[in-house]
Amino acid sequence: MESALIAIFWIVALLYSVVIHEVSHGAVAYSLGDPTAKNLGRLTLNPFKHLDMFGSVLLPLLLVVLRSPFIFGYAKPVPYNPLNLRDRKYGAAKVAVAGPASNIVLAVLFGLTLRFLPDIFSSSLVPDLLGIVVILNLFLAIFNLFPIPPLDGHWLLLTFLPSGFTAVRTFLYRYSFVLLLIFLFFIFPLLIPLVRGLFQLLTGIGF
């Protein structure tokens, strides 16, 4: 019963973490002059507005069934029109960084809550549930900051990349799928110690 509850909480926490991530993109775009997400009703925390049938439902459930040590998923990207942004130079980067920034804020808030949690909750499931939120959001933030399309980090790279490096831009987009697979299978697993370190820094405990 306890393991089933934790599995369900993983999925719910993941769903709302990615929803907040996507809404943050849209909210920053709206603040910079683009109403696309607002006009489409995507500036809401209602998860049904953001669900991707595979990424938000089937993939997390499949990982639960396969007893994966980590549950992952994604929501439908919030659309925006960069031509509407008042800040044409840095607007795309600001919109991109908003998603990972929201995950970092969530990780810090829940991590500090776990760190200063009263001892009365120490024997309950509360520490485990708070820890799940911290781990999820640390992974989401670090994952999305990598400079590979379609991840948010590639917008940061392209924004600050000198104009003479068009070959790098072309390479990233041409081989984005291959680069993403390499990142997922060979690089991302190496980041687990980083997540562990950040988790311990925020919460004062290891995992």
8-state DSSP, 79: P
For residues 42 and 50, the answer to whether their CB atoms sit within 8 Å is yes
Residue among 13, 22, 135, 199 flagged as catalytic: 22
* 158 closest CA partner among 95, 84, 100, 105: 95
For residues 151 and 177, the answer to whether their CB atoms sit within 8 Å is no
193 cis-preceded (ω within 30 degrees of 0): no
> 2 catalytic, yes or no?
no
8-state DSSP, 44: S
3-state SS assignment for residue 161: coil
Catalytic residues: 22
